[in-house]
Structure 1
Amino acid sequence: MATETLPLFPLHTVLLPGAALQLRVFERRYLDLVRDCGRNGSGFGICLILDGNEVGTPATPAAFGTEAVIEDFDIGDDGLLSLRLRGRRRFHVLRTRVRDNGLVVGEIEWRDADTDDEVRPEHGLLATVLEKLIEQIDQQAPGLAPAQLDNAAWIGWRLAELLPISATQRLSLLQEDDPHARLDRLLALI
């Protein structure tokens, strides 16, 4: 499997495929990263912080993450860059290095894309739970992406995004390659 180099942005959150994330950027290393991504039309990796903080000394990222693409940006009233990101592809970090400016860069392998498998009967309850969650959310903030309530992978990612579970539990789901096994884990959590 071929490897690539990807700049990483360790956070105290897990970005999932298809999920949105708001991010405020103010450190020079990350402003440079955003500039480079804008020039190249590329994304960067978001990984859960295993040790350290979001600001200052480079943190230790988890070995799995999600590519973030910039959908929109703005400068806030406080003068900070505000990004709206969307999770795209999952990756596995094989090794990392830290550049002179403190930016963590990973040598990564992309994980296979999810299959478009239909939901199995034993996971039907999860589709119903997600449908009810979406109805409640849509009343408060209309415009959630069109539902794909027959797609096992889509249901798994949206539930992992919306359920009140820990970042560690989300990371565990992100590491799972099989959409049906992911749904089994979510069923156990519920």
Structure 2
Amino acid sequence: MSRTLPLFPLNTVVFPGMTVPLHVFEERYRTLVEELLAEPDPAQRIFGTVAIREGFEVSEPFGPAGSDQTHGGQSLFRVGCVLQLTEAERNDDGTFEIVVVGRGRLRLSGVLTHAAYPSGEVELLGDDHDAVTAPELVERARSLFERYRLQLSQLHGEDVLTGVLPQDPAYLSWTLAAITLLPLPDRQSLLEADDTHLRLAMLTRMLRDEMRAMDVVPSLPAVDVARTGWSPN
């Protein structure tokens, strides 16, 4: 199903179920937040996000749509996430502190620039909660993540990435994708994976690679562990 959604590109990948705090300071996105807050139904306070490819700035205006989606001189990934605004606080200077939750995936086909803020022509992508995923793959991913969490906690000198993992394989795959400390290209490839089985298989490989890297260079990953959260709602 295709539709037009307000678009708020970010320099990170957001996954379904992921809770993200954002500081909104640009005038166009402040306008977007104000319009979302004017919507009486909280469930309809939705917009889209796609990640900005590494190496591009975020302050330029949007450029025209094309096969390579652009944000001025910036290149945007085509698969992103539908976000719902769940909390908002206006600061004295007119900026906002907001909290958003990922509600599902989208594929961007075009960027529209005629409004006060950019919008995207998007296709809403379905989930695969009813698909069959091999139980042994689910358990392997859980086991590897527990080893990864222990190894990371030892490096930090305290417990990190604590919490109960979901039982549902699809929710589990999104949770692990959200909280495993991975570089942006790996996170984007997980978002683009079209089924749970593939996503969990990719995660097991990435977790092994991360643990091997920590064994070779025992230093803390350059990602803030507490930057995002997970919400199954």
Residue 9 of structure 1: aligned partner: 8
* One-letter amino acid of the counterpart of residue 147, structure 1: L
Bigger Cα displacement from structure 2, 109-118 vs 83-92: 109-118
Q: How far is the alpha carbon of 1:119 from its aligned partner?
A: 5.5
Q: Does 1:181 align with 2:198?
A: yes
Match of 2:125 in 1: 111
Alignment CA distance shift 1:12-1:108 (3 Å) = same
**Is residue 147 of structure 2 the alignment partner of residue 147 of structure 1?**
no
Identity across the alignment (%): 27
Aligned residues: 183
**3-state SS of 2:199 partner:** helix
| TM-score when normalising by structure 2 | 0.69
Q: Name which of structure 1's ranges 168-177 and 111-120 shifts more when overlaid on structure 2.
A: 111-120
CA positional deviation for 1:55: 2.3
Cα deviation, 1:4-46, whole Å, max 9, x if unaligned, reads 0011111110110001111011111101111222223321111
Residue equivalent to 1:75: 90
Residue 171 of structure 1: aligned partner: 188
Confirm whether residue 89 of structure 1 aligns to residue 91 of structure 2: no
Aligned-CA RMSD value = 2.7
Runs of 4+ deviating beyond 3 Å: 75-79, 116-119, 129-134, 139-142
Conservation of the 8 A alpha-carbon contact between 2:133 and 2:196:
no
The more displaced of 42-51 and 7-16 is 42-51
Alignment map for 1:101-140 (pairs within 5 Å): 101=116, 103-116=117-130, 117=132, 120-130=135-145, 133=149
Q: After TM superposition, give the deviation of residue 77 of structure 1 in Å.
A: 7.3
Q: 1:49 corresponds to which residue?
A: 52
Q: Secondary structure at the match of 2:182?
A: coil
Q: Which amino acid aligns with 1:42?
A: R
The one-letter amino acid paired with 2:13 is V
Q: Distance in 2 between matches of 1:15 and 1:178?
A: 17
Other structure's SS at 2:35 match: helix
CA distance in 2, matches of 1:23, 1:130: 27
CA displacement, residues 94-144 of structure 1 (integer Å, 9 cap, x when unaligned):
11222354x32111111112315566213312123445749x7xx6698x5
| Ranges in structure 1 where 5+ consecutive residues have no aligned partner | none
The higher radius of gyration belongs to 2
In structure 1, the partner of 2:67 is none
Q: Quick one: which amino acid aligns to residue 76 of structure 2?
A: P
Contact 1:18 1:87 (8 Å CA) reproduced: yes
1:47 maps to a residue whose letter is V
Structure 2 counterpart of 1:161: 178
